[in-house]
Structure 1
Amino acid sequence: MTENTTHFGFKRVAAEEKAGLVRGVFDSVAEHYDIMNDLMSMGIHRIWKRIAVQLSNVRKGEQVLDLAGGTGDLTTLFEQRVGDEGNVVLADINAQMLRTGRNRLIDRGLVGNVQYTQVNAECLPFADGSFDCVCIAFGLRNVTDKDAALRSMYRVLKPGGRAIVLEFSHPIDPVTEKVYDFYSFNLLPKIGKWVAKDEDSYRYLAESIRMHPKQGELKAMMETAGFERCEYFNMTQGIVAVHRGYKL
């Protein structure tokens, strides 16, 4: 990989173009994002998210940053944990996704301890040591400079804080891998075409998962960014993994 190029799915693009291309994908799918998540995962994504929140060990009164928070599923779960004394910031680089999430949570009555901000994960606009937990769910693979994002997450954590990365990953057995590949490249784009009227965006999502670092690689990247006691937890045979690291 040269310094001025990166991957967008299986394609090579100029690094400065990737954010705009990813924005186009999520502008397109925002309206159907939640129903597509349910269809793509047969509803299992809700279990994955609950497990990630449990592993965060977030408690009442804490400050949480939900990066790439999209339509607010994780923010809703975190808000229940931090209570009135705590605070959750729902952040996303994509304005349309953030707008969809904000409207959804306001409709649910979550207005007191939830804030919204449009940010780039690579250069978070928060002071050092602002949060007890930073979570990024199904978003790190879309970031152009993942190392910069991990360093930025580390910087805004308080001492004793923890980072949670919930992301599609790599199956740990060949049978699951073959079934998953068939589903991802043959069925997923068709579901996107039928439901969201966008086959190409869901083909990109499948490709972006394959280009994402494997479990051990991402663990090493977190350690390089400064995190300690890093570990990961495979779910659904490694199709999804939760990585956790601490700022000590």
Structure 2
Amino acid sequence: MAHAAGARAGLDKRPADVAAMFDRVARRYDVTNTVLSGGLDSSWRRATREALGARPGQTVLDVAAGTAVSTVQLAAGGVTAIACDFSQGMLRAGAARPVPKVAGDAMALPLADASVDGVVISFGLRNVADPDAALREFNRVTRPGGTLVVCEFSSPTWAPFRTVYTEYLMTALPRIARAVSSNPEAYVYLAESIRAWPGQAALAARVQAAGWGEVAWQNLTGGIVALHRARRV
């Protein structure tokens, strides 16, 4: 679900700092995500796989894959899914999951041009130092006609709920993380990073500006999460 990029708001998202933070949350990462999402993380992963629509024999890249829980789901039905993360601790925590894994930065992927049929990034784009550079890099490694899916926290569509949700992020979420996470201080930044992230239309514009076509989005859980889908032209 959530890559917590730093222990405090204002961290400048230097890759080495972010990777070190991921290393420290890796031990209880999956449990923490399930608790903080109220168990919705599995349904968000299913929706992401459906939006990607990969076919048997295709190869897809799961960026910011963490412990590769999402990669295993993407690999169902004869799809080859590669887990990519720049946290060695995360990759080690998911070592038993039967998918190929590669260490790599979203802004400089260790793949050749036009080498995959699709790219997915779930709850990781907002923690990249330069999200626009990452979107361009995803475009580089995707074959023409391939698909991008960005699953990310977004802005709830109903204003009264949006207010309640923001209050949860800033108060309840850090308290819950203290009870279940191996590094609860990291999740203070999580709340700030979600609140600062652009809404659905603004992110769609950035995806299009990075060279992707047919950009559209789908709200999940009332807009708490949005799936942005685009085509490599």
Q: Name the TM-score, length of structure 1 as normaliser.
A: 0.87
Amino acid at match of 1:52: T
Structure 2 partner of 1:62: 58
Q: Is the 8 A contact 2:9 2:192 kept in 1?
A: no
2:86 matched to 1:77? Answer: no
- SS of aligned partner of 2:189: helix
% identical aligned pairs: 38
Structure 2 partner of 1:4: none
Between the aligned partners of 1:207 and 1:27, the Cα distance in structure 2 is 20
| Residues 83-105 of structure 1, C-alpha deviations (whole Å, 9 max, x = no match) | 1xx422110011111111223x0
Q: Is the 8 A contact 2:20 2:87 kept in 1?
A: no
Any unmatched runs of 5+ in structure 1?
1-6
2:84 matched to 1:99? Answer: no
Between the aligned partners of 1:201 and 1:19, the Cα distance in structure 2 is 15
Deviation at 1:8, TM superposition (A): 6.4
Report the more deviating stretch, 195-204 or 115-124: 195-204
Return the match for 1:224 from 197, 204, 209.
209
Q: Is the 8 A contact 2:113 2:141 kept in 1?
A: yes
Return the match for 2:29 from 33, 55, 60.
33
Q: Is the 8 A contact 2:7 2:186 kept in 1?
A: no
Q: Is the 8 A contact 2:166 2:195 kept in 1?
A: no
- SS of aligned partner of 1:126: coil
- Superposition RMSD on alpha carbons, in Å? 1.7
- SS of aligned partner of 2:15: helix
Amino acid at match of 1:131: V
Deviation at 1:186, TM superposition (A): 1.3
- SS of aligned partner of 2:146: strand
Between the aligned partners of 2:112 and 2:180, the Cα distance in structure 1 is 41
Q: Is the 8 A contact 1:192 1:202 kept in 2?
A: yes
Any unmatched runs of 5+ in structure 2?
none
Answer with 1 or 2: which has the greater Rg: 1
The structure with higher relative contact order (CA 8 Å, sep 6+) is: 2
Deviation at 1:73, TM superposition (A): 1.9
Q: Is the 8 A contact 1:131 1:156 kept in 2?
A: yes
Amino acid at match of 2:142: L
Structure 1 partner of 2:132: 147
Paired residues, number: 229
- SS of aligned partner of 2:193: helix
Q: Is the 8 A contact 1:69 1:137 kept in 2?
A: yes
Between the aligned partners of 2:218 and 2:7, the Cα distance in structure 1 is 25
